[in-house]
Amino acid sequence: MGLGDVAAVLAKASGGDGEAFALLVNSHARTAFRLAYRLTGNERDAEDVVQESFIRAYRQLSRFEARSNFATWLHRIVVNCAMDSLRGRQVRRERLADPVEDMPDVAASDCPSPERLAMSDEIRRRVDASMAELTPQERVAFALRHYEGRSIDEIGRTLGVQTSAAKHAVFRAVKKIRVALEPLRSTP
Amino acid sequence: MTHCSDDELLLEYYGEESGSTTHRLVCAECTARYRALKQMLDDVTLEPPERDDRYGLEVWQAIRHRLPARESRWHAMLTPRWGLAAAAALLLAVGFTAGRLWPRVDPTAPPSMALSTPNAVAVSATADDEARRRVVLLTINDHFDRSDGVLAEVMNAGSPRDLSAEQQRAADLVAASRLYRRNAVVINEPAMAAVLEEVERVLLDIVHQPPQATAADLDAIRRRIDAAGLLFKVRVMTNELQHRLEQPSSAPPTSTSTIG
């Protein structure tokens, strides 16, 4: 979709045109899923976050400013929905003391290549475990910085916190991940 | 000498302002620590599972009934509120047009197109003949499915390339589409007719391309398909039709629209 097309579709969608909104969903769903997956770490939650994000976007479309970038606006909504999902997960975990729920999917590979795969699986397992221990803010800040390449300033704005708070959230996250991976470093 | 802190090294790794680089470059100890940090973080990757180009449709189908009700063009077209009077007027017009056009109908056309005869128009106009309605919907569903194939081929074609096979299929689809569109109007499916018309226009574009399409030719068609969200609309329609054909009654939904 070109820029002019996006503006026209947005104008129609803001006016309640479901067809236009469907086109926006179609254009942005895959990007939203990639982001949601990186923030939540598992497919099921990512799917829920994507759906919830588009529903929120539809409800708030009248507040969207035409001059803004829809992708940027949606990005923020996905981050907020992912934060809510992670908070919900944290609350459930505290209630049920069920760490299993937080273990993200470990994708099965069709072509196992012995040691390298075993090592990367172990890294992934440890990273997943340490990520599950992060607060929602630490996790999201780390994912945005590390996987999405967003600047600390940008992360602060997205999360609605000071830059220093965003920075320290990333620091704490990396420290925890580092502790989890440290034993692998000493492995010959 | 003050060594770099872990946090400074981390900021440097991420390309953020840290002030540590100058010292780190001349300090073997800090360089070693930086390398260890880099090696550790480089190993932390997370590749999301792929979602194919139908994912947008899946998300839309999952959320469309959960969206707050708003008026939409498709919604208005798909609900009975569109008005019996308007439908009756349209049927009269279609009956008249179909009657005039009937002698020109291609005799090799698929059997379902017999609905375009004045008698069939009258029968379907009563909206009582569910079996006939289903036949029309089945043929249109098949038509959308085949159109999807041609459009997807064009969207994914390496460029430049020989389009003659797609052009032949597109020409066949265009010939049938005119009749399907008329039938869609007759059974009071204006939204379907609108999408059929949009598809028909793009298929005609494909037919009229030179057989050896250049990259620019293909790009122009792709842009048109993409700008209209045509492939997506076709898939929404196919999905909706399949759903309706699985139900005891294939009449259009009355409460929530297909797409809005």
ipTM of the complex: 0.83
**Number of structural domains in chain A:** 2
Residues A162 and A94 in one domain: no
Out of A11-20, A143-152, B85-94, B209-218, least confident range: B85-94
Full domain range(s) for residue A52: 1-105
The percent of residues above 90 in pLDDT, for chain A, comes to 50
A181's tokens = 């991976």
Identify whether the C-beta of residue B199 lies closer than 8 Å to the C-beta of residue B147. yes
For residue B56, the distance in angstroms to the closest alpha carbon of chain A comes to: 4
For residue A173, the model assigns a pLDDT of 96
For residue A25, the distance in angstroms to the closest alpha carbon of chain B comes to: 6
Tell me the CB-side half-sphere exposure of residue B145, using CA atoms within 13 A. 10
For residue A57, the model assigns a pLDDT of 93
The whole-angstrom separation of Cα B76 and Cα B175 is: 29
Domain ranges in chain B are 6-42, 70-246
SS3 letters across B12-47: HHCCCCCCCHHHHHHCHHHHHHHHHHHHHHHCCCCC
B227·A2 Cβ contact <8 A: yes
Residues A126 and A98 in one domain: no
Q: Which of residues 86-145 of A touch B (CB under 8 A)?
A: 107, 120, 123, 127, 143, 145
For residue B196, the distance in angstroms to the closest alpha carbon of chain A comes to: 15
Residues of B within 8 A of A167 (CB-CB) are 11
B60·A25 Cβ contact <8 A: yes
SS3 letters across B176-227: HHHHHHHHHHHCCCHHHHHHHHHHHHHHHHHHCCCCEECHHHHHHHHHHHHH
B84's tokens = 């019996």
- B188 conformational bin, left if phi > 0, alpha if psi -120 to 50, beta if neither: left
Which residues are B162's β-sheet partners? B212
* Range from A65-74, A89-98, B138-147 that averages highest in pLDDT: B138-147
Residues A66 and A122 in one domain: no
B129's tokens = 């003949």
Residues A165 and A179 in one domain: yes
- Classify B3 as helix, strand or coil: coil
CA-based nearest residue in chain B for residue A56: B67
For residue B229, the model assigns a pLDDT of 80
Identify whether the C-beta of residue A64 lies closer than 8 Å to the C-beta of residue A76. no
**Cα distances (angstroms) measured from residue B169 to each of A79, B163, B175:** 45, 10, 10
Residues of B within 8 A of A40 (CB-CB) are none
Q: Is A43 on the interface with B (CB under 8 A)?
A: yes
Q: Please spell the DSSP secondary structure of B100-141, one letter per residue.
A: HHGGGS-TTS-GGGGGGSHHHHHHHHTT--HHHHHHHHHHHH
Identify whether the C-beta of residue B24 lies closer than 8 Å to the C-beta of residue B30. yes
Residues A64 and A26 in one domain: yes
Cβ-count burial A146-157 (b if 16+ within 10 Å, e if not): bbbebbbebbbe
Find the CATH number of the domain harbouring A65. Answer: 1.10.1740.10
Best of B16, B34, B40, B46 to mutate (most A CBs within 10 Å, chain A): B46
Mean pLDDT of A156-180: 95
How many whole angstroms from its chain centre is CA B163? Answer: 21
Residues of B within 8 A of A18 (CB-CB) are 64, 67, 70, 72, 74-75, 257, 259-260
Q: Which amino acid is at B169?
A: R
By DSSP bridging, strand B161-162 and strand B212-213 are antiparallel
Dihedral sign (CA A113, A127, A164, A33) = positive
B40·A23 Cβ contact <8 A: no
* Range from A47-56, B189-198, B210-219 that averages highest in pLDDT: A47-56
Q: Is B85 on the interface with A (CB under 8 A)?
A: no
Q: Is A33 on the interface with B (CB under 8 A)?
A: yes
Residues A19 and A47 in one domain: yes
Find the CATH number of the domain harbouring A160. Answer: 1.10.10.10
Residue A2 pLDDT class (50, 70, 90 cuts): low
